[in-house]
Amino acid sequence: MKPLVLTVLAALCLPLAAAAQERAPELADLLARMADGGKRRFIYDDQASSRFRDEKARIIPSGAESDETFATGIEILKTANLALVSVDTGAVPTWKVVWTEKAREESLKASESVATLPATNEYCSLRVTLKYLRVRDLLSTLQMLLSDPRDVTVLEAGETLIMCGFAQTLRAVGKLIAAADVPPADGLSWRITVAAVEASDGGDGGCPEAFREAGLPAATGKKTFRLMTDGCVSVMTGGPAGKNSGSARVGLVLGPEGAMDVVMSLNRDTSGAPMLDSVEARGKDGNVAGASLSARLALKEGAWVVAGTVPTKDAARAVVVLLRVEKLK
């Protein structure tokens, strides 16, 4: 009977052994491996443990703990939507395990350069002060590169921003900024041509050939267009941020409509293409004649672009302001 009893016990124990091997790893199991025998310390709560368990993260195979194990463990935490945030860099470095979407709410010590970012893919922040670009030139791009627009904070004083995210992402973004934030070539000259076009609801639906590609009907809701007057001016851009704008004014005589000054501020975007920061139309009294003119208007060299319209006393008519820019040799 004894061999039979042993056989039965073995059969019963096999499922138990298999179940033990298939047990879902706990967050504590992973962190124990990453601690490297007390070399590191981790703080976490039940919510982090539950997320790790619910996401069914796969733990690293058994083997000797090392710095590589720590780096791999961070990537495993990321698969469970968890992040490591450094809270103490003392004799026993300590990290806190947090939900990734809440990591930005932690007290993140900002690195002042790409070189001082953590070597491993922890959740942290990077502080950058621009030298030549302006924050508004980069903000929308950075918000797309980072996982959430809230990961970018703009400081009120100076052209400074703080970005938060995983170190690997911040390292790539920081290098991108460094490559773009360089002194622009000095002394670029541009010719800006300004045209005033009368737009009306009636008429034969005609439009001067030069402006056919500008999309006047869609931009104004009017039917017929005729050139009233035009003028041009040369503008130079170059130098550090904040000093590379070129301001220009073109005075237009509109006949019975009177006179109008078009005041512009020309700049360049990060690729060197012309960009109008602001466009205003002012009447004889110096007051703004039309609130519908554009700001931050991208220009294509040699092409007419509608800056906006200036209303007239006759609601069926309006004065359209168009701009064209050309680089001077």
Give the tens place of pLDDT for each residue, 268-313.
Answer: 766 666 777 778 888 766 566 655 576 677 778 889 988 888 878 8
pLDDT band, very low/low/confident/very high, at 242 (cuts 50, 70, 90): very low
Residue 186 confidence (pLDDT) above 70: no
Which of 186, 178, 163, 172 lies closest to 130, judged by CA? 178
Residue 11 confidence (pLDDT) above 70: no
Residue 315 confidence (pLDDT) above 50: yes
Is the pTM for the entire model greater than 0.85?
no
pLDDT band, very low/low/confident/very high, at 133 (cuts 50, 70, 90): confident
- Cα radius of gyration (the chain): 32
Q: Per the structure block, which two tokens stand in for 138?
A: 């980069």
pLDDT band, very low/low/confident/very high, at 39 (cuts 50, 70, 90): very high
pLDDT band, very low/low/confident/very high, at 10 (cuts 50, 70, 90): very low
Give 116: exposed, middle or buried? Use CB within 10 Å, 0-12, 13-18, 19+.
exposed
pLDDT band, very low/low/confident/very high, at 41 (cuts 50, 70, 90): very high
Residue 111 confidence (pLDDT) above 70: yes
Weakest-pLDDT range from 9-13, 52-56, 77-81: 9-13
Residue 167 confidence (pLDDT) above 50: yes
C-alpha distances in Å from residue 37, one per residue of 45, 66, 96, 167: 21, 10, 18, 25
| The pLDDT of residue 256 | 67
| The pLDDT of residue 253 | 81
| The pLDDT of residue 241 | 44
Q: Per the structure block, which two tokens stand in for 166?
A: 């995983």
Q: What is the mean pLDDT of residues 90-119?
A: 93
Q: What is the mean pLDDT of residues 68-73?
A: 89
Q: What is the mean pLDDT of residues 148-172?
A: 88
The CB density around residue 191, as the number of other CB atoms within 10 Å, is 14
pLDDT band, very low/low/confident/very high, at 20 (cuts 50, 70, 90): very low
Residue 173 confidence (pLDDT) above 80: yes
Q: Percentage of the chain surpassing pLDDT 90?
A: 35
Weakest-pLDDT range from 13-22, 54-63, 184-193, 235-244: 13-22
Residue 207 confidence (pLDDT) above 50: yes
| The pLDDT of residue 76 | 92
Residue 155 confidence (pLDDT) above 50: yes
Provide the β-strand partners of residue 327.
Answer: 190
* Rounded Cα–Cα distance for residues 27 and 43 (Å): 11
**What's the whole-number average pLDDT of the chain?**
80
| The pLDDT of residue 174 | 92
> Which of 67-71, 129-133, 161-165, 312-316 ranks highest by mean pLDDT?
161-165
pLDDT band, very low/low/confident/very high, at 185 (cuts 50, 70, 90): low
pLDDT band, very low/low/confident/very high, at 238 (cuts 50, 70, 90): low
